[in-house]
Amino acid sequence: MSYSEKILSKSVDPATQQMLEFAEKQGLETAWDRYEKMLPQCGFGELGLCCRICNMGPCRISPFEDTGPKKGVCGATADIIVARNLIRMIAGGAAAHSDHGRDLAHTLLLTAQGKSGGYEIKDEVKLAALAKEYGIKTNGRSKEDIALDLAHSVYAEFGKQEGFVQFSRRAPERRVALWKKAGIDPRGIDREIVEIMHRTHIGVDNDPVNLILQGLKASIADGWGGSCIATEISDVLFGTPEPVRSQANLGVLKKDEVNIIAHGHEPVLSEMIVAAARDPRLLDKARAAGAEGINVVGMCCTGNEISMRHGIPIAGNFLQQELAVITGAVEAMIVDVQCIMPALGDLCECFHTKFISTSPKAKFPGAVHMEFNEEKGFDIAMEIVEAAVDNYAMRNPDKVFIPEDKTDCMVGFSTEAIVKALGGTLDPLLDAIKSGAIKGIAGIVGCNNPKIKHDHGHVALVEELIKNNVLIVSTGCNAIACAKAGLMLPEAADQAGDGLKGVCKALGLPPVLHMGSCVDISRILTVCAAVANALGVDISDLPVAGAAPEWMSEKAVSIGAYVVSSGIFTVLGTVPQVLGSPFVTEILTKIANDVVGAAFAVETDPVKGAHLMIAHMDAKRQALGI
């Protein structure tokens, strides 16, 4: 493979290709380099056959018929070990997303008490709607009093020991009845996560089916609980997104401005960074330093959050975080939690970039820690942005290389925005599905993974689906990949099949709808539940499917589990670490259909994956008689 072919094999994104070539010439290491150094990866680990939960091990089970151990020291088989490893990943992912929700609940509480530093309740309509779901009285009460009761009610979801997670009752009654029958209707969010950790301790639950059912239970507590809480409270505090124009890719960095990247997942920090960067005092200081202004851009899910509420440009998705630093034009990389590479510390030392950590939960080697808290949110954000402005003078112009690539996009399709775009009712969408103009709806989500050509899995899958009249709802790194590829513009409807093209042009919508960050997959669940309720069926009866073409994180495992548990067939583009147990593999890809009405499929070819989803939609349409 030639040098140019090697670069092209790593990503379909032109800005990423340029930066990888530039990084190699500068002798700078990226995630792709570290992946190649790791090859060949541990075959036992890839199959999920390693166990380290006690000190009699680590144990590994041989996948070969005639050689190697078939049980761990305690007697655990491949089926037990793979199932335990899988649901521990679900626990980690559910904990991450649900902790995000808990932090938002904490911010709402402080705001209601008048103790937050700069936050306010921006969507009183949604506040009232959520209060109604929780049975909180609103008549004659201030928004602060209502918010205080809502914050306490939401807080209780995490430690609840009995009953059910409130937002799970947005699911169709048939779905809830199915969860109850299978014993996977979650109680409290934290309880289900803790129970996974207990069950997977040595000598506790050693039934693979029972283990996986608990994993599904915790994942439902994530998707319909913690993640849903994060989304809804974000809307109350920061405003429910409506369609807005933005731009995406590394070209959004500006040569003559102070560039600040907000990277991570929680909008509590990034909202204040955006506000501080617009403060006249800091803008004047930036100009006095020779910059034309302050340019805040997003990275990963924080990028999605501030883009859909403020039109802030998105610099890139997960695998572009190092490349953004390598442009030499970034004054500060400000991070909170999740999907932040510890490699950034060493890399930032090669440039003038300040690597600033802010969360007490997440510290990094080489980072300057400026701890953020909601009580002094705006003041701390001012200090952080000022540090970036002061750092502009340290930039070395000779090291600056910014790709020109950037693409316009339309972002911010919350559930409410979609209904509004349809004229205030779901009827036009239902009519389009019934007529066949829209074959079905696909939720495409997830990360990047250097095992797969960067963005190729995302873009190729989505392009094939829209060509076949499938409407796409997208979050996370997939949303950013689609934005960079120009698929989030109304003009992209020209790439769609005639049916979807007609619907998009009539409504002025892109064929790929940006619904937000990873936790906002809860918005997709809400839309699916609303469509199912309107048709009088369960979610599993709908012509819908999900996919994670380039997934890599524990959060993605939890997401996949709750999407399938909600009745949605889901295609994975990278192979999960379960193939060491044919039984567990069968549970996930076949037996799950009998329990929750949906299952996983694994297909590394995105075009073939698209056709698996299309075939599934065709079967569901036929069963519905449409």
Name which of 522, 516, 446, 436 is nearest 471 in CA terms: 436
Burial of 243 (0-12, 13-18, 19+ CB in 10 A): buried
The response to whether 514 counts as a known ligand-binding position is: no
Specify the amino acid at residue 428.
P
Which backbone phi and psi does 158 adopt, to 5 degrees? -75, -40
Cβ neighbors of 311 (< 8 A, separation 6 or more) are: 244, 245, 246, 411
The DSSP string of 600-616 is EEE-SSHHHHHHHHHHH
Count Cα neighbours of 467 within 13 Å in the Cβ-side half-sphere: 9
Name which of 301, 343, 308 is nearest 323 in CA terms: 343
Q: Which two tokens stand for residue 25?
A: 């010439």
* Rounded CA separation 87/194 (Å): 11
The count of residues in the chain is: 626
Q: Which two tokens stand for residue 579?
A: 């193939």
Residues in a beta bridge with 572? 548, 602
The response to whether 482 counts as a known ligand-binding position is: no
* Rounded CA separation 117/111 (Å): 8
Angle between helices 227-238 and 78-112 (to 10 degrees): 20
The response to whether 51 counts as a known ligand-binding position is: yes
The response to whether 409 counts as a known ligand-binding position is: no
* Rounded CA separation 491/474 (Å): 17
The response to whether 518 counts as a known ligand-binding position is: yes
* Rounded CA separation 550/450 (Å): 9
SS (H, E, C) 570-599: EEECCCCCCCCCHHHHHHHHHHHHHHHCCC
With the C-alpha atoms ordered 150, 155, 159, 164, is the resulting torsion angle positive or negative? positive
Cβ neighbors of 540 (< 8 A, separation 6 or more) are: 175, 567, 568, 596, 597, 598
The response to whether 59 counts as a known ligand-binding position is: yes
* Rounded CA separation 479/515 (Å): 8
Specify the amino acid at residue 294.
I
The response to whether 348 counts as a known ligand-binding position is: no
The response to whether 339 counts as a known ligand-binding position is: yes
* Rounded CA separation 613/601 (Å): 9
Name which of 466, 459, 478, 277 is nearest 381 in CA terms: 277
The response to whether 528 counts as a known ligand-binding position is: no
The response to whether 228 counts as a known ligand-binding position is: no
Q: Which two tokens stand for residue 456?
A: 């190729």
Residues 326-349, buried b or exposed e (16+ Cβ, 10 A)? bbbbbbbbbbbbbbbbebbbebbe
With the C-alpha atoms ordered 426, 428, 432, 435, is the resulting torsion angle positive or negative? positive
Residue pair 565/538 in contact by the 8 Å Cβ criterion: no
Q: Give the count of beta carbons closer than 10 Å to the beta carbon of residue 174.
A: 18
* Rounded CA separation 522/559 (Å): 10
Q: Can you say which residues are annotated as belonging to the binding site?
A: 42, 50-51, 54, 59, 74, 265, 301, 339, 447, 477, 518
Q: Can you say which residues are annotated as belonging to the binding site for [4Fe-4S] cluster?
A: 42, 50-51, 54, 59, 74
Q: Can you say which residues are annotated as belonging to the binding site for [Ni-4Fe-4S] cluster?
A: 265, 301, 339, 447, 477, 518
